[in-house]
Structures are given as structure tokens and as C-alpha cells.
Amino acid sequence: MINIGIIGVGLVGSELISQLAAYASSAPKLSVIALTNSSKQLLSTPAYSPLDLSTWKHALQTQGTTANLSVFIDYVSNSPVPAIIIDNTASQEIASQYPLFLRKGLQVVTPNKKAFSGAETLYKEIMEEAKKNKMFVFNESTVGAGLPIISTLKDLIRTGDKINRIEGIFSGTLSYIFNEFSKSGDDGQKFSEIVKVAKKNGYTEPDPRDDLNGLDVARKVVILGRITGMDLSLDTLPVENIVPEPLRNLATSSEFLSRLPEFDSHFDNLKQAAKDNNQTLRYVGVIDPIGGESGVKLISLPLSHPFAALKGSDNIIAFTTQRFPNPLIIQGAGAGAAVTAFGIFSDILKIADRFES
């Protein structure tokens, strides 16, 4: 039996609980014993008994107590059987406490990119504490949601392959925007219109500038680069911010969207220049251990390139290695609650399997 404490029960957390509930009926080796959001927490009664995952929302609302992360962690860490903390938040504050979680004997599974792409001192401390305390830290869903990107990279490295280059379209939002923009004809949708549709359909952050500035892609590049042994940092990684400079400091996303059409001609010119060379625009992240040219940028690619054929909001990642001079390519849905929860769930099962063996 593995006990689980879940921090963050929003869109991804709720979907994870649904997947765990469906799984429990066929193989009940996982037990959720604690849940918390930013305001309330629910600890199982009697202590360390499984929570009823069919009524957890009502129970959290009616029986939950004031959220206290210290109390929550102490409860889960005193579990009589191995325990896992799932952090479904994007909180830097919680990420900074991973070393403490590991020292308390907790395994960590998370889609929170902050711990693995922020300060290098925190990243190294997490890895050192995991090794020293013989704990697991799994973060597959920080890059590509449920796609097996991190596990593939680690397998390549563990088996002695040499990583020459990793490049990919790591943002489902920017994948959708440029797929739609590139396929639209001269009289098709303008860039600003596509961004508005993407926001309306829930593909973007509440403020689309948080996608267009490239920071999310940069975090994923740093995460993968550090796994290869590179000392990448958000502070020094070259990142092309495609938000027009006059719009970067506007107070609201509404004002940004209302003024974005002023710059449609700029994006039209970029598209036409690519089209004149039988190419298409793609927003790409690159990890380059050999040439040192890692970064994030908008580039033009030949129509024959695998990235040019991407559709919808899919992610695609290409690993060029000593064993795979013709790149090993992983492609699929890289965003959304269902696939992100799947990635988290998969990591949970990896830990559970290790305790069974």
C-alpha cells in the first residue's frame, strides 16, 4: 500500500483524483489520505484510512479545516506505510520545500516546473536530498504533460547514449497559434484573431502574453538541459519574446488584445517571408549540449520538416543522439488536464512498482 497526499485540487488535481478513483476499483494499492487547496485541507479519519474519492469535494468543503502546509506534511510524512506528496500547483513557495519533503521521507511527484527550472541551488538541493535520503522525485508532466519526454531522455542517458541536440515545439498554445496562422491564406485569419480564438477556447493563459513571451517554453528547455548536465538558467537562456514591445507593459490582457491588431502586418510579413522560401513559422525550443546554442525562438522551417506538419495543439520533440542520428521523435497532446494527470499518475505507479519489487 502507498499513501498519497495531494496538494492542489484544481483542474489537474481533480482530474487526477478521478483517475485514481477509477483505478482503485481494480487494483487498490494506492490510498489518498490527505487533500489540500490554498484555503482548506482534509485529513482522513480514522488517521491514515483512505478518503472516499467519490465525495471528496463535499467533504473538503464541509469537513475541511484551515489549510496549514506544515500540519499537512507532518501528517502525511508520519504515514505507517510509504507515502507520496503530489504537488499540482505552480507555487514557488511549495516547490522550495521539496528538500524538506524528501528529508521527511516523502516521495515527490509533480507537474510544478518552478522547482526544476528556477534557481539552480534549489534544483541541486532537491537532487542531492533525493539521493541522500533514497527518495524518488518524478516530474514527467513538467514537460509535455503526459508525453514520455523526460523518461525517454533519462533512459537515453542512463544507457550511455550521447545527447547531441534536443529541439521541440513545447507549447500547446503556441503550437495551435502558429499552426492556424501558417495554414491561413492571404485573406485568412490575422494573427491577432487567432490569439483571441485561442484565449476564448481556453488554450492560453488568462493573459496570452504569458504564453507569447516564451517563458513557459524556456522553463521546459531549462528542465531538459539540466537533465543532460548543462548549467542552463532562465536568467541567461536566450528567449525570443514575440509580444510586440509596445504591448508588453500594458495593464490588462483586454487592452493587450484590443491593440494586438496594430501589429498584424508585422506577423503577416514574417509569414510571407517564410512562405516565399517554402517554409513555415514555428516557435521552437532548443537544447544544444554540443554547440552551446540553446534557446527559444520563432524560426522558419522547410515544409518537409517534421515540425511543419504538426496540427492542432500537439507538442513534438526530436532527440538527436549518437544512437539516433535520425532523430527520435515524440509527438502528441502536450497540454490539458487529462493528459497532465495521466503523466502524474504514471509517475505515481512507477514509485508504487518499486516498492512492490
Active site residues: 220
Write the DSSP symbol of residue 239. Answer: B
Would you put residue 62 in left (φ > 0), alpha (ψ -120 to 50) or beta? alpha
Residue type, 236: T
CA 240 to mean position of chain CA atoms: 20
- The torsion of the CA quartet 340, 341, 342, 344, rounded to 10 degrees, works out to 90
Residue type, 155: D
Determine the longest span between alpha carbons in the chain, in angstroms: 69
Closest CA to 313 of 177, 201, 182: 177
Cα–Cα distance measured from residue 233 to residue 137, given in angstroms and rounded to the nearest whole number: 20
- Distances in Å between the alpha carbon of 6 and those of 12, 27, 64, 140, 198? 11, 19, 14, 17, 30
